[in-house]
Amino acid sequence: MSLIDNAFCVPCKKTYATKQSLQSHSKLHRERLRQTCPTCGMKVLKLDKHLLTHLDRSKRTTFTCEQCNSEFIQRGNLKIHMSTVHGSFPCTICKDTLPTKKVLRSHLHHHKLEVKHRFKCTECDAKYTTNQNLKRHMARLHS
């Protein structure tokens, strides 16, 4: 990709030297898009969704978690709650349930390390990836 592909601002058709300078510039556009809430004065990007927070509970639609009965104004917030609080990504190795794909990947990486270092010294806490390395360790330190 060229610099133009990486750092081109579509709304104002300007090109920036780096992605970082484009990101800094893009904040200006987001600030211009913010609207002020007439109820609380807060500046928000999505006023229609923010206004839901001011509705009387009896007048607004809520999305309820089937596992703990927590209520959310937006379906997206319920989905975030489900994945972070109740976990929905099972480990295929140990059957633990992890809250997000990212945490699952990290968890699986630890399993791989356990498998990689499966040759354990019976005399100390040393672990090795091959039996040959373990034998070398035993000969040097424990014979």
Q: What is the 3-state secondary structure (H, E, C) of the chain?
A: CCHHHHCEECCCCEECCCHHHHHHHHHHHHHHHCEECCCCCCEECCHHHHHHHHCCHHHCCCEECCCCCCEECCHHHHHHHHHHHHCCEECCCCCCEECCHHHHHHHHHHHHHHHHCCEECCCCCCEECCHHHHHHHHHHHCC
Q: What is the dihedral of CA 66, 70, 75, 81, to 10 degrees?
A: -90
How many CA within 13 A on the CB side of residue 88?
A: 9
Mean pLDDT of the chain: 80
Range of weakest confidence among 34-38, 78-82, 121-125 = 78-82
The confidence band for 2, taking pLDDT boundaries of 50, 70 and 90, is very low
| Model confidence at 118: pLDDT above 80 | no
In tens, the pLDDT along 3-55 reads 344 677 777 778 888 888 888 888 877 777 788 989 888 888 888 888 888 87
Kindly state the average pLDDT of the residues 73-96. Answer: 80
Express as a percent the part of the chain with pLDDT over 90: 7
Kindly state the average pLDDT of the residues 67-77. Answer: 86
pLDDT at 6: 60
Other Cβ atoms less than 10 A from the Cβ of 53: the count is: 14
Domains delineated in the chain = 3-54 (3.30.160), 91-143 (3.30.160)
| Model confidence at 106: pLDDT above 70 | yes
pLDDT at 1: 36
pLDDT at 139: 93
Q: Are 91 and 99 in contact (CB under 8 A)?
A: no
